[in-house]
Amino acid sequence: MSSPWTWIRGFLYVEIAIVLLLVLPIASLELWYSLLQSKFLQDLKSQTDIYFIILLAILVLFGLDAIRKIRQYSHLEKNIDVHSDYKMLGSLKLFRAQQNFYIFFLSLLLSLVIRQLIMLNYSQAQYEASVKQAKSALSATEKFLVDQGNITENTRNNVTHDEGISILKSESEKLKEELKTAEKVKSLNSQNNNLVKGYYRLAEAHSKLQERVTIGSADEKENVNVMILKSEIMKLTEKLKVCDEHTSALKLQADYCDKEYRYRLAECMAAMIRI
């Protein structure tokens, strides 16, 4: 076999090895994808079609040469007038030409098969990479949505907490106002008690003076004092009536404030427990 056909046979063996590597599960798709994405192969990617066409043209030229020799030596074998030694030599050359043709045919076929397998593996690896990227993006989106849900829930809790605090503040202000009202009621009650005590003292003095007047022992000055005391007693009586009216109203208001205070306090405690 001549030297060019030796190179073509070696190329055929290399193609068989490449086909086995592509078909057998020796290397994963990720490895093939990373290999095909290498900088060297990416630089050659734009010129791959040109190199492949040149390779096919070379193989076709050698195939045409093998076909020419097959036709030549088959015609010599049919010639009866040729010597047997020449006929044997022609048969040997015909066998080599046929062998070269088979090598050409297999090399051409495996070149097409390798190209198709590489394209399929690259497409499959690219598809799996896209699926993984989509899954990672989906998981990241789900995580983001979960985080957003937690943030929204925390925000709602914070808003509820702030609303509860504002409600408690308003209730506290109301309770303070009611406590001030209750203190005013207490002070008015104490004033009313003082007026009642003063009224009783004046009434007692008035009764004593009336006794003196009735027994005739009172003089003119005492009569004047009696008149003054009577006028003061009348004024105090009117004041006591007014105070009694205010006291009854304030007692009702104090009872209402006490009940309202207890109710508001219970609501505040319940709100604090909820928060």
In a domain, 28, yes or no: yes
Domain assignment present for 151: no
* Domain total of the chain: 2
For residues 240 and 118, state if they share a domain.
no
Whether the per-residue pLDDT at 264 is higher than 50: the answer is yes
pLDDT beyond 70 at 5: yes
Any domain includes 150: no
Domain co-membership, 49 together with 141: yes
Q: Tell me, yes or no, whether 133 and 177 share the same domain.
A: no
Residues 215 and 112 in one domain: no
Q: Do 16 and 132 belong to one domain?
A: yes
Is the same domain home to 40 and 174?
no
Position 157 in a domain: no
Are residues 131 and 18 both part of a single domain?
yes
Domain match, 267 and 201 both: yes
Share above pLDDT 70 across residues of the chain, in percent, rounded to a whole number: 45
pLDDT average, residue stretch 210-217? 57
Q: Has residue 153 been placed in a domain? A: no
Query: How far apart are alpha carbons 106 and 63 in whole angstroms?
Result: 11
Token digits for 71? Answer: 């036709």
Q: What mean pLDDT comes out for the span 261-268?
A: 62
Q: So what's the pLDDT on residue 202?
A: 64
Residue ending a domain, choose from 111, 145, 179 = 145
- Arithmetic mean of pLDDT, 219-246: 63
- Over the chain, what is the mean pLDDT? 71
pLDDT (tens digit, 9 = 90+) per residue, 171-195? 667 767 766 776 766 676 666 666 6
- 133 located within any domain: yes
d(CA 178, CA 255): 11
Find out whether 87 and 77 touch, Cβ atoms under 8 Å. yes
Report which listed range, 140-149, 164-173, 261-270, is most confident: 140-149
Amino acid sitting at position 9: R
Is the model's pTM score more than 0.95?
no
C-alpha–C-alpha distance, residues 111 and 12, integer Å: 9
Closest CA to 29 of 136, 118, 137, 135: 118
Give pLDDT, residue 78.
Answer: 58
pLDDT exceeds 80 at position 271: no
Per-residue confidence at 218, pLDDT binned at 50, 70, 90? very low
Q: Which residue, 145, 160, 184, sits at the end of a domain?
A: 145
**Domain residue limits at 106:** 3-145
Examine residue 158 and state whether it is found in any structural domain, yes or no: no
Mark whether 134 and 183 lie in a shared domain.
no
41 and 119 in one domain? Answer: yes
Same domain, 96 and 179: no
The position carrying tokens 């001030």 is: 180
Residue 161 lies in a domain: no
Q: Which residues, other chains included, contact 62 with Cβ-Cβ below 8 Å and sequence gap of 6+?
A: 4, 5, 8, 100, 104
> Among 84-88, 121-125, 144-148, 264-268, where is mean pLDDT lowest?
264-268
- Say if residues 1 and 100 touch (Cβ distance below 8 Å): yes
Domain identity same for 187 and 131: no
